[in-house]
Amino acid sequence: MATPVIMPRQGQSVESCIIAKWYKKKGDKVQPGDILFTYETDKATFDEEAKIGGTLLELFFEEGDDVPCLVNVCVIGNEGESVDEFNPNAGQPGQEEDKKDSAEVKKEYEGEEVPDLNTGAVPNGDRELKISPRARNMAQRAGVDYRLAGGTGPQGRIIERDIVYLRENGPVLTSAARNEYMNTEGVQLPSGTGLGGRITTADLSAPAHAAAGAPVRSSEARPDYEEVKLTNIRKVIAKAMHHSISSTCQLTLNTSFDATEILAYRKKLKEGRDRLKLENITLNDIILYTVSRTILRHRDLNAHFLDDRMLYFNNVNLGVAVDTERGLMVPTVFNANLKSLNEISSEVKRIAEECQKGTVNPDLLKGGSFTITNLGTMDIESFTPVLNAPQTGILGINTIIQRAREVKGEYVYYPAMGLSLTFDHRALDGAPAARFLQDLKAGLENFSILLAK
Amino acid sequence: MPKSQFIDPSEVRKSGKIIFKDIPVNQYEKTIDQEKENFSTEDFLRIYRDMAVIREFETMLNAIKTTNEYNGIQYNHPGPAHLSTGQEASSVGQAYLLDKDDYIFGSHRSHGEILAKGLSAIEKLSDKELLEIMESFFDGAILRVVEGKQKNKGSVKELAIDFLVYGTLAEIFARETGFHKGLGGSMHAFFTPFGIYPNNAIVGGSADISVGAALYKKVNRKKGIVIANIGDASMGCGPVWEALCMAAMDQYKLLWEGEHKGGLPFILNFFNNQYGMGGQTTGETMGYNMLARVGAGVNPEQMHSERIDGYNPLAVIDAIKRKKKILEEKNGPVMLDTLTYRTTGHSPSDASSYRSKEEIELWAGNDSLEEYMNKLIKAGVAAKEEFDAIGENVRELMTKVCKLAVDDSVSPRMDLMKRPDSISGLMFSNQRVEKMEDRECDVLISKEENPRVQQIKKKIRVGIENGKPVSKNRVYQFRDAVFEAMLDKFYTDPTLIAYGEENRDWGGAFAVYRGLTEALPYHRLFNSPISEAAIVGSAVGYALCGGRVVVELMYCDFLGRAGDEIFNQLSKWQSMSAGVLKMPAVVRVSVGSKYGAQHSQDWTSLCAHIPGLKVVFPVTPYDAKGLMNSALMGTDPVIFFESQRLYDIGEMFHSEGVPEGYYEIPIGEPDIKKQGSDITILTIGATLYTAMNAAKILEEKYGMSAEVIDARSIVPFNYEKVIESVKKTGRIVLSSDACERGSHLKDIAQNISEMAFDHLDAPPVVVGAKNWITPAHELEEHFFPQPEWIIDAIHEKIVPLKGHTAKNNFTVNEQMRISKAGI
């Protein structure tokens, strides 16, 4: 039986994905597990594997096409079968939202009737999502987003069986229902929550990698340059960086602190690591921890600046810049102020790894209240991090250099670690920003006292 | 309808006339000198003292109610105080000859009766008996209060008088040291060890209860007589007439046998103060002219009715002496019209707008205390000073007691913060008492000889044999189960009696009691008049005196006729007495069908709403026998619903059938009649069988597995099994034959919503009968829940069923519409 393959939805805020590369072409035989195509969100790249075997009967989109989530991308079936009924482009060329969707994805549950989702089961105009307590509970336990479920209960209520179906078969929404869902959620493209920091480094260090998934246009004339179509991620980074620089008043303050104590502390942890069953806690983790315990006293920096108003966050959601082969990604450690040093360390490791693999939940790629970026590991002594707008601050961590200072008439060397704070002068002035750095510096130089608090 | 009595047309059609005897009116004419042979000086003076105690007691309460002060004691009493100032001679005269074995029941205006009866009992009891009573009552809690402040311990009788007056007053003031821990109050105070039985705030409420008490005395061969003291206006209450009818049944004298033959030891006494609140009974609200006249219409003895002068204590004593003799000769019952007058208002807030000042002054001028005192002085019985001294003593007593009763440190109120279950713990007695008395049971034949027992022996005790239903003629039926439980108890508990309409000979309208007539003498099983109020009311009186009783309402629809008796009396006396009284009474209520709007209603919800009643509705023979056994073992009032659709049904669920031996099913435990996984159906009553049919359709047609739970009990109710089931299925339909609006199922549904909210896949849905009249049998399928209704309701409100088209409208819109229309 001919079966369509839909563009999956990755995360609640993703509306559409770009097909990065086709690995199969029309007429190819496919086995379950074969990669059909890769697709990108603005934050990550994913592989779509075939779930059933058969012949790839039709591809509805080409590489580079932006395909709305849940729309049919291709059809697998037996040779000779008709695919017309699955074609999202049929009828009204150019219109991606096809009204026929409902017929295609409407399914019948075993033994129980599913009312037509387009004819009143999800009443138009009634934006209230109806769900039974039991279904809501089950969705929570199963970790599925119940808003993707079709409501087959009375008055379109989502009931237990809808969650069971969703869990086992994925979304069954029609495009109409999906629009409903999108409107309900009030989602916007997350342009403002994008990326900050090391644009040059990332660009320079991994241009080939970043472009790996993108098709390369060949040119007969072989000029002495290579034209590479930007990846979706690169486009987003570019847009975000430009937006940041062009729409804010950012400037950077530099300072350094005596890293003696945190180095000693880290050494001690390293020695006792196995015994204490601790993570490999890095200097970066220690700085994240210190920021999380300091910044709430400087709320102008744990905030979003929204032109006519400020959003001050009650908890510290730390964005952590991660360098990946796809480009810069900034996953968020939510509520860092409520987490222990060990918890922060473990979480950062986990989400950084997920970013590297491209499996990170897109929801983690937004929602930060302040960002930390570290070039110190690459021997950078000072830089100007770019704000992750509308956040009001970003802290760059630099390398450690030996500095001398006078102690009782003698010059003594000590390890000095650099900090570069970029802030939005629209949101706060230089002095409060400097006071934050001072406070941070004091915390880091007296880390054991901070820990005791 | 005993066959021994023959209705001969030539007799009953003969012409003739009824000749009434004269009804005496205030015939007492003796002088003090003539009475000197009956009363010593001490007796004369004690009568005066008792009247003075009452007068002062009511004076004190009047002062407190109207001025918040008595003899310098400040107190505010917001509760009721219906005073009997002016009526003292009537209550003292009545109590004079009575002892603790004579029971009086009263009304809302009974402070005087409590004090008079108590003082009379104290006079007759020995010091030892008095101490024993006072020390054992609430473990001496009241005694300790009156003893504690006693500087010079007087005689035991004086102590007992303090005890009596204090216990009454503390009760009126809602103190925990009152006779019923303050739970009864002014209108419900009583003290059974002195033979003072419940006073009643419902006008005429004591009439039928007292008939039950008299039955108790008669059936169980107890000493003493029973007097119901009610007001003249209560003659207008239906249940009072019913009480008269039941008290005067011919069968006591014609059909009851041996020592039980003869009239009830019962006086229905009207303290006729000539007003019902403000309505004048003679001249305005009644037509009897003189209340005593009514007795003439009740039986050939004319109830030995007469009017006596309640303003003269000696006239009342004389009457009681004569009437007591009639009762002892088993010629009761008696009706008395004791004429009196209250000079205070109906209550202290009464402005007496309905009577003239002159009238009140005239009666005050005829004041019974003064008149009696003057007569005694004139006859040389005692000097004025002696009466003054009595008055002084009484004022001292009252001041002392009043001080104690308003003192929070010695007379605290129930502390419901510290002990929140103080009242809830009294709602039921929850005891297991196999027999209320240990003696031989009066029966006519052995159980084995019983024709019904022999017939049941041949029956098959399961409803399904080899997968096939057993035929009606061979199957052990629901009615057999109820019979077996009751028969067993009749041979265990000698106090157990049963009565109602058509209980004897006929064997109950639905043949449950067939075989009991052969087994039991009349005094244990008899037919009552068609007097539902008196049937239940007398059961209340019988049970609270200490006997076990089963009465029957032939149709649930007649429950309204016994409304007060079930809702205000049966349900409340255990808790209003603070646990002093028990109520081992079972009311069998048969829920009808086929007979239209006034014979087909399920009113379980009404009973469930009233605190203090246990309510069960078994619908299988196994459950019926087990629950009846539990009901008959307990000491609480149980409303035992039965369905007329099911009297001939066999046991379809309990595969081992109905055990021949004794077993109990605890009241309050629902039963899973069928296991299932997709939806729960909870039923009350005969709808179980409808639900089983629905479950079958759901399974066969829609692949949906239903778990069917039979509530069995309604109050109390253990939700555990239901919640467990709902957690499993996530869905529940509740169904019964009760009209949907206000059905108790709505209450259960609400509780389930709260208890299992997070597990529910849809709101609990109640499928009840329509909010209409019950139509004719042929149209009943449009009125009572049908299997299809349950399925339609599931489809519309819980989970749409594939391929199902609802034929009945269970949509929310329809719900709104019918609610708006009140249908």
Structure tokens at A137: 């509970």
Are the Cβ atoms of B761 and A111 closer than 8 angstroms? no
Please give the pLDDT value at position B178: 97
| Nearest neighbour of A135 by CB, restricted to B761, B796, B801 | B761
What would the DSSP string read from start to end of B507-558?
--TTSTTTTHHHHS-TTTEEEPPS-HHHHHHHHHHHHHTT--EEEEESSGGG
Residue B463 sits in the same domain as residue B396: no
Q: Which residues of B touch A155 (CB under 8 A)?
A: 812
Please give the pLDDT value at position A223: 61
The shortest C-alpha distance from B804 to chain A (Å) reads 9
Please give the pLDDT value at position A11: 67
Are the Cβ atoms of A111 and B759 closer than 8 angstroms? no
Structure tokens at B235: 């003659």
Q: Which residues of A touch B730 (CB under 8 A)?
A: 132, 134, 160
Are the Cβ atoms of B757 and A133 closer than 8 angstroms? yes
Beta strands, E only, B98-138 = 103-106
Residue B638 sits in the same domain as residue B678: no
Mean pLDDT of A46-63: 88
Are the Cβ atoms of A134 and B730 closer than 8 angstroms? yes
Are the Cβ atoms of A112 and B802 closer than 8 angstroms? yes
The shortest C-alpha distance from B813 to chain A (Å) reads 12
Q: Which residues of B touch A113 (CB under 8 A)?
A: 800-804
Q: Which residues of A touch B725 (CB under 8 A)?
A: none
Residue B574 sits in the same domain as residue B715: no
Residue B624 sits in the same domain as residue B675: no
Are the Cβ atoms of A113 and B801 closer than 8 angstroms? yes
Closest CA to B148 of B401, B431, B358: B401
d(CA B503, CA B487) in angstroms, rounded, equals 14
Structure tokens at A17: 């994905």
Closest CA to B304 of B278, B273, B276, B266: B266
Mean pLDDT of A28-40: 89
Please give the pLDDT value at position A12: 63
CATH number of the domain within which B679 lies: 3.40.50.920
Residue B732 sits in the same domain as residue B585: no
Are the Cβ atoms of A154 and B759 closer than 8 angstroms? no
d(CA A8, CA A15) in angstroms, rounded, equals 10
Beta strands, E only, A222-331 = 250-258, 303-305, 310-312, 318-320, 322-324, 327-329
Residue B676 sits in the same domain as residue B638: no
Look at residue A93 and tell me whether its pLDDT is greater than 90: no
Are the Cβ atoms of B800 and A137 closer than 8 angstroms? no
Query: Is the distance from CB of B130 to CB of B156 less than 8 angstroms?
Result: yes
d(CA A73, CA A87) in angstroms, rounded, equals 8
Are the Cβ atoms of B802 and A154 closer than 8 angstroms? no
Are the Cβ atoms of A157 and B762 closer than 8 angstroms? yes
Residue B629 sits in the same domain as residue B509: yes
Which of A10-24, A427-441, B264-278 is least confident?
A: A10-24
Read off the amino acid at residue B550: V
Choice among B82, B111, B346, B599 that is catalytic: B599
Domain ranges of chain A: 1-98, 105-188, 210-452
Are the Cβ atoms of B802 and A157 closer than 8 angstroms? no
The shortest C-alpha distance from A134 to chain B (Å) reads 4
- How high is the mean pLDDT of chain B? 96
Please give the pLDDT value at position B151: 57
What is the ipTM metric for this complex? 0.74
| Nearest neighbour of B761 by CB, restricted to A111, A134, A155 | A134
Closest CA to B637 of B490, B431, B485: B431
CATH number of the domain within which B37 lies: 3.40.50.970
The class that CATH gives domain A105-188 is few secondary structures
Topology (CATH level 3) of domain A210-452: Chloramphenicol Acetyltransferase (3.30.559)
Range A1-98 classified under CATH 3.90.950.10: no
Q: What angle do CA B548, B549, B555 make, to 5 degrees?
A: 155
Q: Which tens digit of pLDDT belongs to each residue from A242-283?
A: 888 888 899 999 999 999 999 998 888 888 877 777 878 899
Band the pLDDT of A13: cuts 50, 70, 90: low
Domain-embedded: residue B738: yes
| Nearest neighbour of A134 by CB, restricted to B759, B796, B802 | B759
The distance of Cα B209 from the centroid of its chain, to the nearest Å, equals: 6
Query: Is the distance from CB of B486 to CB of B638 less than 8 angstroms?
Result: no
| Nearest neighbour of B760 by CB, restricted to A115, A132, A161 | A132
Q: Which residues of B touch A160 (CB under 8 A)?
A: 730, 761
Q: What angle do CA B547, B553, B555 make, to 5 degrees?
A: 165
Structure tokens at B387: 């009466």
Closest residue in A to B759 (Cα–Cα): A134
Q: Is A409 on the interface with B (CB under 8 A)?
A: no
Domain-embedded: residue B574: yes
Query: Is the distance from CB of B625 to CB of B485 less than 8 angstroms?
Result: yes
Q: Which residues of A touch B752 (CB under 8 A)?
A: none
The shortest C-alpha distance from A163 to chain B (Å) reads 11
Mark whether B304 is an active-site residue. Answer: no
Residue B604 sits in the same domain as residue B709: no
Residue B746 sits in the same domain as residue B809: yes
Please give the pLDDT value at position A144: 84
Q: Is A137 on the interface with B (CB under 8 A)?
A: yes
Q: What is the side-by-side strand order in the sheet with A72-77?
A: A3-6, A72-77, A54-59, A29-30
Query: Is the distance from CB of A399 to CB of A49 less than 8 angstroms?
Result: no
Please tell me which residue, A369 or A84, carries the higher pLDDT value: A369
Please tell me which residue, A97 or A133, carries the higher pLDDT value: A133
Closest CA to B596 of B365, B786, B780: B780
Are the Cβ atoms of B800 and A134 closer than 8 angstroms? no
Per the listing, tokens 């993707």 go with A148
Band the pLDDT of A213: cuts 50, 70, 90: very low
Domain-embedded: residue B12: no
Closest residue in B to A163 (Cα–Cα): B761
Across A370-390, b (16+ Cβ under 10 Å) vs e yields bbbbbbbeeebeebebbbbbb
Domain-embedded: residue B735: yes
Structure tokens at A151: 């409501």
Could you give the number of structural domains in chain B?
3
d(CA A437, CA A396) in angstroms, rounded, equals 11
Which residues of chain B register pLDDT less than 50?
none
Q: Is A116 on the interface with B (CB under 8 A)?
A: no
Mutation choice for B interface testing from A122, A136, A157, A160 by most B CBs within 10 A: A160
* Domain assignment of residue B503, given as a range: 447-643
Closest CA to B104 of B274, B271, B238, B246: B271
Mutation choice for A interface testing from B679, B758, B799, B811 by most A CBs within 10 A: B799
Please give the pLDDT value at position B471: 92
d(CA A43, CA A287) in angstroms, rounded, equals 26
Q: Which tens digit of pLDDT belongs to each residue from A101-146?
A: 333 333 334 444 444 433 333 333 344 788 999 999 998 888 888 8
Q: Which residues of B touch A135 (CB under 8 A)?
A: 761
Please give the pLDDT value at position B749: 98
Q: Which tens digit of pLDDT belongs to each residue from A167-211?
A: 888 765 444 444 444 444 433 222 222 233 222 233 333 333 333
Please tell me which residue, B23 or A154, carries the higher pLDDT value: B23
Look at residue A43 and tell me whether its pLDDT is greater than 80: no
Mean pLDDT of A287-301: 94
